[in-house]
Amino acid sequence: MLCMKCYTRLHPFFLPFMPLRMPPMPASVFPTTESLRHLREHAKAGTVNWRRKFIYWSGAIMVGVVAVGFATLADAAAHVRDHILKISPLLMLLVTPGGLALSTWLTRTWFRGAQGSGIPQAIACMHLNNITIVDKVLSLRIAFAKILLTCLGLLSGASIGREGPTVQVGASVMHTVGHYMGITDLTRQRALIKAGGAAGVAAAFNTPLAGIVFGIEELAHSFEQRTSGTMLTCVVISGVTAIALVGNYTYFGHTYSSVPVGTSWLAVLACGIIGGLCGGGFSALLVRMSRGISGAFGTFITRHPVAFAALCGLVLAFIGLISGGMTYGTGYVQARDIIMGSDQYPASFFVLKLLATIVSYCSGIPGGLFAPSLSVGAGMGGWVAQFLPHTAPGAVVLLGTVAYFAAVTQSPLTATVIVMEMCDNQQITLALLASAFLAFGVSRTLCSHALYGALAVRFVRTTAPKQSSASVVTATDTARRASSSKQS
């Protein structure tokens, strides 16, 4: 076989096509120890980042799974209660006082931090500096107890909801995820709490946009605070998880009512004013009750909370007997029937439901206010619709729902988005906004502070008395202070 030199001599034609001798490579081209170390550190940082994201996403999936499981247990408790009512409505005279007394005893003895709605706890934990208290309130033990005790209250006939407790449960799940990740930075911990609470709302109502707005308007410090990518990701993933488990449903079905500009907008004014007065009065009363009652009756409540809870249960049972059982539970069935127009309820329904919700909250048992407030608002809207024949009854019911809900929570954007997504109706968005903001303004005249913010302040003062509670504010409180400072 010929060598290359001989081959080129024999075939000079191929000489131009032969490869030239390559110059030696510079030493800088070869990887050095420093560059290899840099590449290894970069790859390790990327792996850690993706691992952290995967754990965050897993936590969001868990929030969705827990929210769906919570809803299933709550429905099962409601079915047991309905079965008891079919046997004899008088049995609730024993079941309701006994259930509320047991729930209060368990809460005060073993599960302190599980009482009430759950939203004030989430807001308070975003402002508490004592991480030990935050770990106790947002522990998985308290979250598990919150689910079971809320279901016990629903079985007993209390006028409570599961959506508020789902916020605390979601915050607990994401807070635990942060502990597992070894996050010690206070800002990042609070971001996870906000993300978990917002994801809980999105999964509970199947309203992802409402979850985002709720996180900004109710849980965040102010409107100007930027929405973190963690919260957005958690809301989307938990919402998708809930849809994957139970399907893409709407909370109150599909409605096609509209409010044309003109005389129909009288319903906006009527619902906004009446809803603002009722919701604002409700919030003012609950804030006042949270601060304690003076006199002998207040002393009795403080010394004998279990007996007081049993007394509240007896009152609830009598209200339920008067209403024919309509005031028991969340009120979801009644609200859906009123909104869809499939059933008619007397004007006394929203009054009795309002009283039942007040009594249920005063008893001190775990349970939320979202669902009962929506039910009261729907009942109020159905009553107002009788006097406004020029407006579609379904539209008036939605306006009443959003007005009362916005007045109670003093979160008009959250109320609007929740109602809009729950009934899958974008045609009425502008009217919903107008009614919500009008009710919000009226509510402010009766209750100067947002309900959940005021309850969060009370929670901070009772759990961490050494810490100032002046920093516990919601976005609506911040907006009010900003407007008042401009006027001055």
pLDDT one-digit tens code per residue, 108-123: 999 988 888 899 999 9
pLDDT tens for 350-392 read 999 999 999 999 999 999 999 999 999 999 999 999 898 888 8
pTM over 0.95: no
Q: Strand ranges (DSSP E) for 278-318? A: none
**Average pLDDT over every residue of 402-418:** 94
| Residue 18 pLDDT > 80 | no
DSSP single-letter state for residue 228: P
For position 191, what pLDDT does the model report? 86
Number of CB atoms found within 10 A of residue 315's CB: 19
| Residue 421 pLDDT > 90 | no
Spatial CB neighbours of 105, under 8 Å, sequence gap ≥ 6: 306
**Average pLDDT over every residue of 110-139:** 90
* Cα–Cα distance measured from residue 84 to residue 78, given in angstroms and rounded to the nearest whole number: 10
3-state secondary structure of 116: strand
| Residue 80 pLDDT > 90 | yes
For position 231, what pLDDT does the model report? 80
DSSP lists the bridge partners of residue 161 as: 368
Q: How confident is the model at residue 67 (pLDDT cuts 50, 70, 90)?
A: very high
* Cα–Cα distance measured from residue 231 to residue 487, given in angstroms and rounded to the nearest whole number: 34
For position 474, what pLDDT does the model report? 52
Are the CB atoms for 325 and 89 separated by under 8 Å? yes
pLDDT tens for 30-58 read 566 776 666 666 666 667 677 777 888 88
Number of CB atoms found within 10 A of residue 431's CB: 27
**Average pLDDT over every residue of 204-225:** 73
**Average pLDDT over every residue of 332-346:** 86
Q: 368 — phi, psi (to 5°)?
A: -95, 175
69 compared with 479, residue with greater pLDDT: 69
DSSP string covering 61-102, please?
HHHHHHHHHHHHHHHHHHHHHHHHHHH-GGGHHHHHHHHHHH
| Residue 346 pLDDT > 70 | yes
Are the CB atoms for 435 and 273 separated by under 8 Å? no
| Residue 403 pLDDT > 90 | yes
Are the CB atoms for 206 and 244 separated by under 8 Å? no
Amino acid at 151: C
As to burial, measured by CB atoms within 10 angstroms (0-12 exposed, 13-18 middle, 19+ buried), residue 421 is: buried
Q: 3 — phi, psi (to 5°)?
A: -80, 170
For position 222, what pLDDT does the model report? 47
3-state secondary structure of 425: coil
DSSP single-letter state for residue 299: H
Give me the percent of the chain exceeding a pLDDT of 70.
83
Separation of CA 356 from chain center: 22
DSSP single-letter state for residue 219: I
For position 223, what pLDDT does the model report? 40
Are the CB atoms for 245 and 65 separated by under 8 Å? yes
| Residue 285 pLDDT > 60 | yes
Q: How confident is the model at residue 397 (pLDDT cuts 50, 70, 90)?
A: very high
Minimal CA–CA distance to 404: which of 267, 251, 287, 272?
272
| Residue 410 pLDDT > 70 | yes
| Residue 224 pLDDT > 50 | no
pLDDT tens for 139-187 read 999 999 999 999 999 999 999 999 999 999 999 999 999 888 888 888 8
Task: Count CA atoms closer than 13 A to 351's CA, side-chain side.
Answer: 6
3-state secondary structure of 368: strand
**Average pLDDT over every residue of 431-451:** 94
* Cα–Cα distance measured from residue 180 to residue 174, given in angstroms and rounded to the nearest whole number: 10
For position 55, what pLDDT does the model report? 80
Q: How confident is the model at residue 296 (pLDDT cuts 50, 70, 90)?
A: confident
**Average pLDDT over every residue of 201-214:** 84
| Residue 134 pLDDT > 60 | yes
* Cα–Cα distance measured from residue 470 to residue 156, given in angstroms and rounded to the nearest whole number: 37
Which two tokens mark 144? 């598990």
* Cα–Cα distance measured from residue 472 to residue 222, given in angstroms and rounded to the nearest whole number: 11
C-alpha distances (whole Å) from 298 to each of 114, 395, 425 are 22, 43, 46
Signed CA dihedral, 342, 346, 349, 351: sign only: positive
Number of CB atoms found within 10 A of residue 83's CB: 9
For position 39, what pLDDT does the model report? 65
For position 180, what pLDDT does the model report? 85
* Cα–Cα distance measured from residue 201 to residue 235, given in angstroms and rounded to the nearest whole number: 8
DSSP single-letter state for residue 225: S
Are the CB atoms for 443 and 407 separated by under 8 Å? yes
* Cα–Cα distance measured from residue 122 to residue 113, given in angstroms and rounded to the nearest whole number: 11
- Average pLDDT of every residue of the chain: 84
pLDDT tens for 237-266 read 898 888 888 887 776 767 777 788 778 889
* Cα–Cα distance measured from residue 403 to residue 393, given in angstroms and rounded to the nearest whole number: 15
For position 226, what pLDDT does the model report? 45
* Cα–Cα distance measured from residue 361 to residue 286, given in angstroms and rounded to the nearest whole number: 8
| Residue 468 pLDDT > 80 | no
C-alpha distances (whole Å) from 179 to each of 111, 199, 412 are 21, 18, 34
| Residue 10 pLDDT > 90 | no
